[in-house]
């Protein structure tokens, strides 16, 4: 087992594990590759294409280095380039996992937001994962279609998943070779060893997963036996982009409380970097485990997660709920997204129709529905001067939730006009009351860092 790493300072092995469609196994294959490369002693920088929060958490566990999102629609081209360059400046290798199918993105007619767009923008090759169950020579037709669809995209190799036997592997390899297509780098057999827990929003999060270190050892072993990693690395050497280093202020001037525990964990790492660069110290607290907020906070940031699964524990921690409500009643600034919005409301009705008291800051109720309520990219325009600056300020993000807000009090007003990318519908979004701002939209501040500066300025003025 060798590394085949080019040691020149201006190059780095980098590739993107993409799928022909969702469900082909790219997440587990990515995790296995990350674990295998880390075991070789390499410093591996993981990435996730698209707006997903859950896969990056698992990447971080497998690689031992924080995974970052790359999304050309939500972040914009320049922010994607900067995030990638900044993250890989001290890495030995970069591994990105795609989203959905290779060419699926924000539109059915354009490349923006797709894995292919990220790969072409950063000039990193694609390793295409194919579900080869019950497939023989047709694998060549499938791979040919993906390889020729856009001449600006480079597919360096193929990994076949759900391969039935060694003979099946040979057939697939020969079919690709005969058609002069990218080589077969690996064949993954169907196995329960690869199983990952799932639920209504996708995989179980890294913080909750029962995957122990042993599981990563198992999948690393499987990857080493099924995939020619040495050949993969040789095919995927890339030119390292010039490094863009975010300015981090050494002496923060304000403290922002950030909710982090099993119920609240959906934060983009680049968002946190933007906040820190504005002179903010992020102070973690747990709505489940802590009894009161940390001292001397200028504001609170409560992100998304799974409050519906921990509603009983959140309800039981009455002292924390009172601490947050007191903070809000005294004029404290609170910004919340999705799960955070649910926590700030009067109550939460879970999927078993049990109703749990929440913080009762926003006089509204949230109810878990039986099916997904909304999924998609959102362009949010501020309708009133406040949290993110002047009226008309635009920030992009993403919605993905199964709950809905009901019985909203008349004193609570929306603060976004949200345009949804695929439908082009524009709807009022967000709940605003006093200095509390909450919405279902998971914003990416890479789309407009000045909005964060306006938020931080408000926090400073509130001290």
pLDDT of 269 reads: 96
Give percent of the chain with pLDDT exceeding 90.
83
* Across 8-33, average pLDDT: 93
Q: Give the three-state DSSP class for 30.
A: helix
The DSSP code for 242 is P
Instruction: Specify whether the CB–CB gap between 258 and 70 falls below 8 A.
Output: no
User: Band of the pLDDT at 199, cuts 50, 70, 90?
Assistant: very low
pLDDT of 203 reads: 53
The DSSP code for 53 is S
* 236 catalytic per annotation: no
Rounded to whole angstroms, how far apart are CA atoms 1 and 3?
A: 7
- SS3 of 418-457: the string is EEECCCCCEEEECEEECCEEEECCEECHHHCHHHHHHHHH
Residue 239 has pLDDT above 70, yes or no: yes
pLDDT of 33 reads: 98
Q: What is the pLDDT of residues 72-102, one digit of tens each?
A: 999 999 999 999 999 999 999 999 999 999 9
Phi, psi of 278 (to 5 degrees): -90, 10
Instruction: Specify whether the CB–CB gap between 300 and 273 falls below 8 A.
Output: no
Tokens representing residue 29 in the block: 């294959």
The active-site residue out of 226, 278, 338, 359 is 338
String of DSSP letters for 252-285: -SEEEEEE-SSSEEE--HHHHHHHHHTTEEEEEE
Q: Which ranges of 345-384 does DSSP label H, i.e. alpha helix?
A: none
User: Band of the pLDDT at 185, cuts 50, 70, 90?
Assistant: very high
Question: Helix 26-39 and helix 54-63: axis angle, to 10°?
Answer: 20
- SS3 of 78-107: the string is HHHHHHHHHHHCCCCEEEEEEEEECCCCCC
pLDDT of 395 reads: 97
How much of the chain is in helix, strand and coil states, percent to nearest 5?
A: 30, 30, 40
Task: Show the domains of the chain with their CATH numbers.
Answer: 11-239 (3.40.50.300), 254-461 (3.40.50.880)
String of DSSP letters for 290-305: -SSPPSS-SEEEE-EE
- Lowest mean pLDDT of 150-164, 229-243, 283-297, 445-459, name the range: 229-243
Residue 9 has pLDDT above 80, yes or no: no
Residue 200 has pLDDT above 50, yes or no: no
Look at the alpha carbons of 110, 114, 119, 125 in this order and tell me if their dihedral is positive or negative: negative
Residue 124: closest CA among 146, 157, 79: 157
Give percent of the chain with pLDDT exceeding 70.
92
The DSSP code for 192 is G
241's torsion region: left (phi>0), alpha (psi -120 to 50) or beta? beta
Residue 202: strand pairing partners: 199
**In terms of C-beta density within 10 A (0-12 exposed, 13-18 middle, 19 or more buried), how is residue 302 classed?**
buried
Q: What is the pLDDT of residues 317-364, one digit of tens each?
A: 999 999 999 999 999 999 999 999 999 999 999 999 999 999 999 999
Residue 439's CB: how many other CB atoms inside 10 A? 25
């Amino acid at each position: 087992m060798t590394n085949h790493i080019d040691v020149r300072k201006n190059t780095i092995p980098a590739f993107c594990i993409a799928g022909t469609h969702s469900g082909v196994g790219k997440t587990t294959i990515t995790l296995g590759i990350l674990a295998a490369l880390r075991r070789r002693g390499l410093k591996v920088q993981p990435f996730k294409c698209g707006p997903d929060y859950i896969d990056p958490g698992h990447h971080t566990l497998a690689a031992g280095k924080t995974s970052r999102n790359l999304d050309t629609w939500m972040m914009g081209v320049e922010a994607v380039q900067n995030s990638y360059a900044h993250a890989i400046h001290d890495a030995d290798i970069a591994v990105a996992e795609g989203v959905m199918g290779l060419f699926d993105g924000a539109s059915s007619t354009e490349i923006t937001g797709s894995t292919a767009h990220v790969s072409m923008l950063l000039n990193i090759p694609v390793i295409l994962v194919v579900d080869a169950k019950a497939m023989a020579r047709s694998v060549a037709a499938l791979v040919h279609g993906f390889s020729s669809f856009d001449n600006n995209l480079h597919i360096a190799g193929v990994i076949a998943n759900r391969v039935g036997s060694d003979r099946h592997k040979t057939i697939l390899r020969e079919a690709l070779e005969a058609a002069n297509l990218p080589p077969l780098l690996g064949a993954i057999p169907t196995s329960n060893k690869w199983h990952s827990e799932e639920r209504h929003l996708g995989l179980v999060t890294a913080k909750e997963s029962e995957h122990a270190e042993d599981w990563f050892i198992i999948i690393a072993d499987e990857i080493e036996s099924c995939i020619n990693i040495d050949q993969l690395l040789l095919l995927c050497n890339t030119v390292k982009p010039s490094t863009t280093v975010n300015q981090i202020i050494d002496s923060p001037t304000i403290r922002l409380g950030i909710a982090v525990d099993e119920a609240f964990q959906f934060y983009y790492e680049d968002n946190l970097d933007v906040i820190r660069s504005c002179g903010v110290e992020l102070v973690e607290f747990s709505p489940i485990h802590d009894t009161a907020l940390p001292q001397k906070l200028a504001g609170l940031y409560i992100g998304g997660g799974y409050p519906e699964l921990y509603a009983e524990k959140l309800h039981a921690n009455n002292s924390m709920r009172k601490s947050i409500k007191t903070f809000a009643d005294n004029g404290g600034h609170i910004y919340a997204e999705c799960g955070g919005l649910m926590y700030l409301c009067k109550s939460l009705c879970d999927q078993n129709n049990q109703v749990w008291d929440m913080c009762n800051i926003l006089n509204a109720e949230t109810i878990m529905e039986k099916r997904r309520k909304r999924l998609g990219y959102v362009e949010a325009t501020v309708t009133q001067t406040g949290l993110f600056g002047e009226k008309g300020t635009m920030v992009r993000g993403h919605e993905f939730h199964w709950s809905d807000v009901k019985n909203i009090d008349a004193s609570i007003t929306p603060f976004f006009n949200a345009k949804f990318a695929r439908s082009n519908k524009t709807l009022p979004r967000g709940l605003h009351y006093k200095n509390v701002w909450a919405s279902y939209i998971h914003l990416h501040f890479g789309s407009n860092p000045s909005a964060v500066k306006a938020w931080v300025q408000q926090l400073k003025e509130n001290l």
